[in-house]
A and B are shown apart, each in its own frame.
Chain A
Amino acid sequence: MRKSAIIGLITIAICIGFLVSLNAETDTYSNFIEASSSNKEEHVIGHWEKNKGTHYDALKDPNHFAFYMKDEKGDVKKVVLNGTKPQDFERSEKLVVIGKMENETFYASKILMKCPSKYNDEMVEISQDGQVKPYKKS
């Protein structure tokens, strides 16, 4: 067999190798119900349940941030993040929490937020007295 053919085969094998591993490493978003029966880290997508507020008291524990999130199925569960309150949390439109579910509480190791885009500029509101303010939807 020619050398170039061997090299070609090895290359193809490596490529297949990482395609397979990419497929194995990727995951789909889940929800709280699925997460409660799963043993691995899950990505749950949802949004912050505003009326229940947030709980963060750096004086007590700077690494504990709790809030309620509604997932795409409409379940509302408590989420606890081991870390500080993310910057700009209140402005988030969509959240992805990564972690595990235990006893009706989701322990997140990481939170991804979709804000009204960091580079996209939101609308401004010019209030009656001529003051320019960021425009808040709803």
Chain B
Amino acid sequence: MDIQFIGENLLPGKLGQFFIVLSFVASLLSTISYFLAVKNKDEQNKSWTKLGRIGFLVNVGSIIGIGITLFYLILNHYFEYYYVYHHSSKTLPVYYIVSAFWEGQEGSFWLWAFWQSILGAILIWKAKTWENGVMTVIAFSQVFLTSMLLGVEIFGQRIGSSPFILLREAEDLKSMAPVVFADPENFKNYLKFIVDGKGLNPLLQNYWMVIHPPTLFLGFASMVVPFAYGIAALWTRRYKDWVKPVLPWTLFAVMILGTGIIMGSFWAYEALNFGGFWAWDPVENASIIPWLTLIAGVHVLIAYKNTGHAFFTAMALMLMSFILVLYASFLTRSGILGDTSVHSFTDLGMFGHLIAYILAFVIISVYFITTRWNELPITHKDEETYSREFWMFIGALVVTVACLQVIVTTSYPVFNKIFGTSKLLSNPIEYYNKWQAGFAFLVTLISGFSQYLKYKRTDPRRFYSSLISSIVFSIVLTALFVYFTKVYTKPMYILLTFSCLFAILSNARLLTGVFSSKGSKLAGSAIAHIGFAVLLLGALVAAATSKPVSINESNFIAVKDFEKNQKPGENIMLYKNEPKKMGNYTITYVSDTTIEPNTFYKLNFKVFDKEGKVKEDFDVNPSIQENGKMGLIASPDTKHYLTTDIYTHITSAAEKKEEHGDHEGHSEEENYKAPRIVTLAVGDTIHTSSGVLTVNPINRNPVVKDLKLAPGDLAIGLPLEVNVSGKIYKTEPLFLVKGNNTFDFARKIEELGLRLRFTKVLPDQNKFEVQVYEKPQQAKDWIVFKSIEFPFINLYWVGTIIMVVGFLISIFRRKKELKTS
């Protein structure tokens, strides 16, 4: 029997689903047409290309259609849709609706498909002779991405997951609230019971989350372009001339993905209490792996362009990078990472689907490489040791090996799954840092001295003599730098400082000739190298010398010998308005303000000089959010100086919930202040400390479990609602006349610390007596917080900006080359 549900808006969902199917079919059509266009040998006949274009543009249109529909649903709070219900709420500000849009898997797949379709459209316009081959690959990739959104069942197997699924289809409403929905009338009207959505994960309620995912996904999406050019080059046997068009695209992908990754790192630093900017979390690793291989790919490609060597390596790195993007999305989206990562998505049953996506593109790559193997322009000559291409090649190799280390380590949950083991990494961050520091040392060293080498061959004596001054100068600078930043605790730190400074100097030397034609050509790469080295230096100093400043000086721990195997405490407790000394700082917990749903704590930091005068005085405002979905969420606040950051987050705060149970010797009421006794009529309102209480018409037939009413007995329910800045809490205390006695059943609203009794009926006045119990404020508020000092972290951000500028310059240069040739 079909149930007619009331109040649902089904049309937009149907429209959205139609767009999904249309985009899938259109991309399939486009793939086939472009494929036949490549196969077609008749130069004059462009009909297949035209059909491919139409297919792809329809795909672009319908992808935009999906986006608009989904946005419309979220904006209008249509909670009958699963996606809307789970990712947004009515209280969500409009600008965060954008982040709600891509909180879920489906939304992020849409974002990816959207960028890929835009890039495809640009390629249709710009790729000229490459269009057919390149677009076949991109449209094929689009087939996979759109199929992830399909959410239709084929042979009992659900393909993809649609954002337009209804809540009642996705979840068993009846099991959610068996009592209410047992009544078919209520069930039909289920939407009435769904007051609000689940809301957006509070960690994502940050302005970086509005901008970081689109950038990252544009980066991921643009990785398909070098791949597509690579396949097209192999397919149509244009081994030489793919280099020029692919270079700007590759640089673009590297630049955007790099920016996206660092934005994520900035978000982690600003909003998450990871206690840092990089945690080697699997999701972070998954995005940096393809970035590293593509960086290696760019270098080998340039070497190939200039010398004709290393064609195969360049091609392999290009192809591999995209496959690694797919692997990364498999890791984060299949649920395989399980509990090793804080921010992997949950499994939506896409395990097989994601593997199919990877396999399809691996097979394409392997097929073309093997069938073309004998024709590939592979040289068998060893490169000169004193040549730039040789060291570019070695540099790329180091990057690839570094990347391999990250892949293997990140993938151990995959190995666990395959071999049925349950291995775990005890100290991942240290482990990664240990290995990656070594690789970073080699890479920066090579990026420094290879600037003194020419392509083909350099005279060794000239090479060494020009190198020596930079080395000496770098050593002096290293000594100064290490002394001032105090990173001399480990030899590896000193080595890395040296290699970074050396890279900066060697590349900066190229910039002196920037106004000559040769110098300006190299400016882009030199600036990007400098940026990268500065970034590493910033990461090194911040990671090596960051230290908690909130050292618990009393360090009182009740357990004997506890300190022996533990670090001294890094958290400090503060009472409101009682200053405490912490290192140089005197800290006061000044006040707190609650702006639903966040509570902001104002902490004042002061530094006094020897005479007791205030040298520095600033406030930080870390916040916590009591969130039904995730519990207590702490967001740090940071005081930025030019040379250091003071990063503070709340680890614990006075809870307003402690209470006595209703057991012997204690009564419930001890938890509350003395009640207010009020007489109210229907429609009356009174103010409580948490919100406005309204009396609704009485309920003459309240249902009470285990209560038998004899004839003559009377039970009345008094429905009350409390409005807390728009959020409604309902409850219904009972009044009962049984035999000759009156009873009442109190009701509590835990969240508001309210207890309500319905104690008397005053029939002559048509009023009711209600007792309002409220909880007292805590006697004294306190917080526990942790502060960490990050010295020189600004180098990390500055380095990023320099690097992006370098990439931009390079892109323009390579584009110019494309035009002039």
Q: A residues near B, CB below 8 A?
A: 2-4, 7, 11, 14-15, 18-19, 21-22, 25-29, 41, 43, 56, 58-64, 80, 82-85, 87-88, 91, 94, 98-100, 102, 105, 107, 109, 112, 114-115, 117-121, 123-132, 134-135
Contact = CB atoms under 8 A, between A and B. Distances in A.
Contact of A132 (B196, B408, B424, B784): B196
A39 to B, nearest CB: 11
A63 B194 contact: no
A2 B380 CA distance: 11
A34 B192 CA distance: 55
Interface centre among A11, A15, A126 (most CB of B within 10 A): A126
Shortest Cβ-Cβ A-B pairs, 8 listed: A88-B631, A63-B569, A126-B177, A84-B651, A62-B784, A87-B632, A26-B423, A62-B573
Contacts of B194: 126, 132
Interface string B183-226: 00000000011111010010000000000000000000000000
Given A18-B405, A100-B565, A128-B179, A119 B782 contact: no
Contact of A112 (B339, B559, B572, B786): B339
B569 A82 contact: yes
B686 interface: no
A50 to B, nearest CB: 15
Contact of B177 (A26, A98, A127): A127
B562 A82 contact: yes
Contacts of A80: 559, 562
Contact of B195 (A61, A62, A132): A132
Contact of A3 (B385, B558, B632): B385
B730 interface: yes
Nearest to A42: B426
Contact of B729 (A64, A107, A115, A131): A131
A62 to B, nearest CB: 4
Contacts of B703: 128
A91 B630 CA distance: 9
Nearest to B632: A87
A100 B561 CA distance: 13
Interface in B710-734: 719, 729-732
Contacts of B339: 94, 112, 114
B203 to A, nearest CB: 8
A85 B652 contact: yes
B382 interface: yes
A99 B557 CA distance: 17
Interface in B618-653: 628-634, 651-652
A15 B401 CA distance: 7
Nearest to B195: A132
B343 A119 contact: yes
A112 B342 CA distance: 10
Interface centre among A4, A43, A61 (most CB of B within 10 A): A61
Contact of A87 (B192, B572, B573, B633): B633
28 contacts: A11-B397, A11-B401, A15-B401, A18-B405, A22-B408, A22-B431, A25-B431, A28-B421, A28-B424, A43-B424, A43-B426, A58-B652, A61-B557, A61-B569, A62-B571, A63-B571, A83-B569, A84-B786, A87-B634, A94-B339, A107-B559, A107-B562, A115-B630, A118-B343, A125-B177, A126-B177, A131-B730, A132-B194
Contact of A124 (B176, B344, B383, B385): B176
Given A80-B562, A84-B651, A121-B629, A25 B193 contact: no
Contacts of B632: 87-88
A129 B422 contact: no
B125 interface: no
A126 B176 contact: yes
B570 interface: yes
Given A22-B408, A87-B634, A59 B193 contact: no
A126 B427 contact: no
Contacts of B431: 21-22, 25
Interface centre among A4, A59, A64, A82 (most CB of B within 10 A): A82
B423 A91 contact: no
Interface string B561-588: 1100111011111000000000000000
B509 interface: no
B556 interface: yes
A78 to B, nearest CB: 10
Task: Please classify how large the interface on chain B is, using the bins under 10, 10 to 19, 20 to 34, 35 or more.
Answer: 35 or more
B196 to A, nearest CB: 7
A84 B730 contact: no
A7 B569 contact: no
A14 B401 CA distance: 8
B366 interface: no
A120 B40 CA distance: 49
B312 to A, nearest CB: 12
B180 interface: yes
B433 to A, nearest CB: 12
Interface in B630-688: 630-634, 651-652
B382 A84 contact: no
B345 interface: yes
Nearest to A85: B652
Interface string B396-434: 010001001100110010000000011111110001000
Contact of A25 (B175, B425, B631): B425
Contacts of B424: 26-29, 43
B394 interface: yes
Interface in B316-357: 339, 342-346
A88 B289 CA distance: 32
A25 B435 CA distance: 12
B86 interface: yes
B552 interface: yes
Contacts of B345: 119
A86 B295 CA distance: 39
Contacts of A128: 179-180, 703
Given A43-B424, A114-B339, 6 more contacts: A22-B412, A62-B571, A64-B558, A126-B180, A129-B732, A130-B730
A2 B382 contact: yes
A41 B426 contact: yes
A91 B397 contact: no
A59 B782 contact: yes
Given A4-B382, A26-B425, A118-B342, A130 B394 contact: no
Given A26-B426, A43-B426, A62-B573, A130 B193 contact: yes
A135 B176 contact: yes
A55 B196 CA distance: 35
Contacts of A3: 382-383, 385
Contacts of A94: 339
A134 B435 CA distance: 44
A19 B408 contact: yes
B346 A84 contact: no
A120 B719 CA distance: 34
Nearest to A133: B628
A110 B104 CA distance: 30
A125 B176 contact: yes
A118 to B, nearest CB: 6
Nearest to A134: B628
Contacts of B570: 63, 83
Contacts of A129: 719, 730-732
